[in-house]
């Protein structure tokens, strides 16, 4: 069962994304005020959801599990690292799609909007995480430091969010639900958006899995060199 779902992850992801694109580009109607720009609705919110919640959430949980003694393992460290790396890609995509949407709506590529600003700050956090990993090449030290940094980042997310929101906001409100809780979009649009959410979430896990496998291979190579390193070191003597 697990094997089957693993094998299906890639194809299902592709199918969902393909369906989103078909629905989003051809089936769904144009918006009265936003015209074709509304089609970003099927891409931008799902990507942002993955960037800000799914990937950061995964990295944070994996980091906590690493720091907790009973679940401490390099697996958790690798998951956190790979999730953070994938999140960089999604954050950049979020900023790009947001910018494309913002340019005609706001008239500028960059506006001092609350969500845009806090997403950018979060993006710098993700890059800083990768920089921190590069600066430490001892695996244990690197794992500990990056886990602490990931947790500090998670603690910062609400602080940054509220500070920037209170600072200034001109972003539109929540996309799907109105403040009274009624649905805003209908039919094919809702379907396209839902498929988008599912598709991009699956894409995240697919990328995470592939990246994780790559990391395991890289570590395996360094374990092979452990024996070599011992032999090499012993040869120095005698």
Under the binding rule (CB under 8 A), the answer on residue 70 touching other proteins is no
Residue 64 binds other proteins (CB under 8 A): no
**Residue 225 engages other proteins in binding (rule: CB under 8 A):** yes
Please identify, using beta-carbon distances, which residue of 105 and 156 lies nearer to other proteins. 156
**Residue 178 CB, nearest approach to other proteins (Å):** 25
Please choose, from the candidates 115, 61, 110, 57, the residue with its C-alpha nearest in 3D space to the C-alpha of residue 86. Answer: 57
DSSP string, 163-200: HHHHH---S---SSB-TTS-B-S-HHHHHHHHHHHHHH
Contact present, 199 and 13 (Cβ < 8 Å): yes
Geometric angle at alpha carbon 23, from 19 and 29, rounded to 5°: 175
Give dist(CA 16, CA 172) in Å, integer: 27
CA distances 97 to 38, 188, 196, Å, are: 12, 21, 14
Q: Does residue 169 bind other proteins (CB under 8 A)?
A: no
Contact at 8 Å (CB) between 128 and 149? yes
Q: Which of 92, 54, 46 shows the shortest CA–CA distance to 198?
A: 46
Q: Does 229 bind other proteins (CB under 8 A)?
A: yes
Contact 29, 185 (CB under 8 A): no
Assess 170 for contact with other proteins (CB under 8 A).
no
Strand partners, 31: 35
Size of the site for other proteins (CB under 8 A): 45
φ, ψ for residue 183, nearest 5 deg: -75, 140
235 lines the binding site for other proteins (CB under 8 A): yes
Closest to other proteins by CB, 114 or 207: 114
Counting contacts by CB under 8 A, is residue 61 touching other proteins? no
Site for other proteins (CB under 8 A): which residue of 88, 160, 185, 194? 160
Question: Shortest distance, CB of residue 53 to other proteins, whole angstroms?
Answer: 18
- What token pair was written down for 34? 């936003």
State the minimum distance, in angstroms, from the CB of residue 141 to other proteins. 5
Residue 71 CB partners (closer than 8 Å, separation 6+) = 65
Q: Give, as ranges, the residues between 140 and 159 that touch other proteins (CB under 8 A).
A: 140-141, 144-145, 147-149, 151-153, 155-156, 159
Interface pick for other proteins out of 86, 122, 189, 192 (rule CB under 8 A): 122
Q: Least distance from C-beta 20 to other proteins, angstroms?
A: 32
Q: Which residues bind other proteins (CB under 8 A)?
A: 67, 121-122, 124-125, 127-128, 131-132, 134-138, 140-141, 144-145, 147-149, 151-153, 155-156, 159-160, 162-164, 166-167, 222, 225-226, 229-230, 232-238
């Amino acid at each position: 069962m697990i094997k089957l779902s693993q094998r299906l992850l890639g194809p299902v992801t592709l199918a969902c994304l393909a369906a989103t694109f078909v629905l989003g580009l051809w089936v769904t109607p144009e918006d009265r005020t936003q015209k074709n720009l509304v089609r970003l609705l099927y891409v931008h919110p799902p990507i942002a959801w993955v960037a800000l919640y799914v990937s950061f959430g995964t990295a944070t949980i994996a980091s906590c599990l690493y720091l907790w003694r009973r679940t401490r393992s390099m697996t958790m460290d690798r998951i956190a690292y790979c999730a953070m790396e994938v999140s960089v890609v999604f954050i950049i995509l979020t900023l790009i799609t947001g910018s494309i949407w913002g340019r005609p709506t706001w008239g500028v590529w960059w506006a001092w909007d609350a969500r845009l600003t806090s997403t950018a700050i979060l993006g710098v956090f993700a890059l800083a995480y990768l920089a921190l990993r590069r600066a430490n090449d001892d695996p244990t030290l690197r794992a500990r430091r990056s886990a602490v940094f990931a947790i500090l980042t998670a603690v910062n997310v609400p602080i940054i969010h509220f500070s920037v929101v209170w600072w200034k906001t001109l972003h539109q409100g929540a996309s799907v639900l109105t403040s009274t809780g009624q649905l805003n979009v209908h039919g094919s649009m809702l379907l396209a958006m839902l498929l988008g959410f599912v598709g991009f979430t699956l894409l995240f896990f697919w990328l995470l899995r592939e990246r994780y496998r790559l990391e395991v291979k890289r570590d395996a190579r360094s374990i092979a060199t452990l024996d070599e390193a011992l032999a090499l070191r012993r040869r120095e003597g005698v």
